[in-house]
Amino acid sequence: MPQRKDVSTTGPSGRGYARRIAAALLGGLLLAGCGGRVAERNGARVQAIAITSAEFAFAPAQVRVRANVPVQLTLDNRGLLTHDLTIDRVGGPGWLAGLVGHRVHVEAGPGSRAIATFTPTPGAYLFYCAQDRHAIDGMVGILIAAD
């Protein structure tokens, strides 16, 4: 199991955090597949995706989904700590995607799962774990919604 490092021992200014976000963004933009399957459920279209959390990463950290189709996101927490998946704003129109919209927040205790449902408009959305300093320790990812 990876050891959790204190930020003060890993250097100033969260450089690792910035690097991980950059890597997640780049990876997400290069990623072609790995999206949710669009399926019919009770007559409604929905795409189911599953993201695993543990100390201190999401897998996958890059997810691609179809825009304007409801996403049913399962957070499968295989860690020893409580983790969550948070997107600050999702669902805004056009230029405003990621600037307005509603917050997605799903939290799961150790060894449990939780489900969030939301409908993304086209855009790239940073997701992170809002627990303590988990995002700084690496729990960040990118969700790309495209037509």
Write out the residues near Cu ion by the rule CB under 5 A. 83, 129, 131, 134, 139
Cα gap 86→83, rounded to integer Å? 10
- Half-sphere exposure for 42 (CA within 13 Å, toward CB): 0
In the complex, what is the shortest distance from the CB of residue 138 to Cu ion, in angstroms, rounded to a whole number? Answer: 9
Query: Residue 58 or residue 66: which is nearer to Cu ion going by CB?
Result: 58
Query: Residue 75 or residue 129: which is nearer to Cu ion going by CB?
Result: 129
Query: Residue 66 or residue 83: which is nearer to Cu ion going by CB?
Result: 83
The β-bridge relationship of strands 62-66 and 101-108 is unpaired
In the complex, what is the shortest distance from the CB of residue 110 to Cu ion, in angstroms, rounded to a whole number? Answer: 11
Q: Which residue has the tokens 């990812």?
A: 141
Cα gap 144→126, rounded to integer Å? 9
Q: How open is the CA angle 77-79-81, to the nearest 5 degrees?
A: 100
In the complex, what is the shortest distance from the CB of residue 76 to Cu ion, in angstroms, rounded to a whole number? Answer: 13
Q: In this structure, are residues 107 and 83 in contact, taking their beta carbons and an 8 Å threshold? A: yes
In the complex, what is the shortest distance from the CB of residue 94 to Cu ion, in angstroms, rounded to a whole number? Answer: 32
Query: Residue 63 or residue 97: which is nearer to Cu ion going by CB?
Result: 63
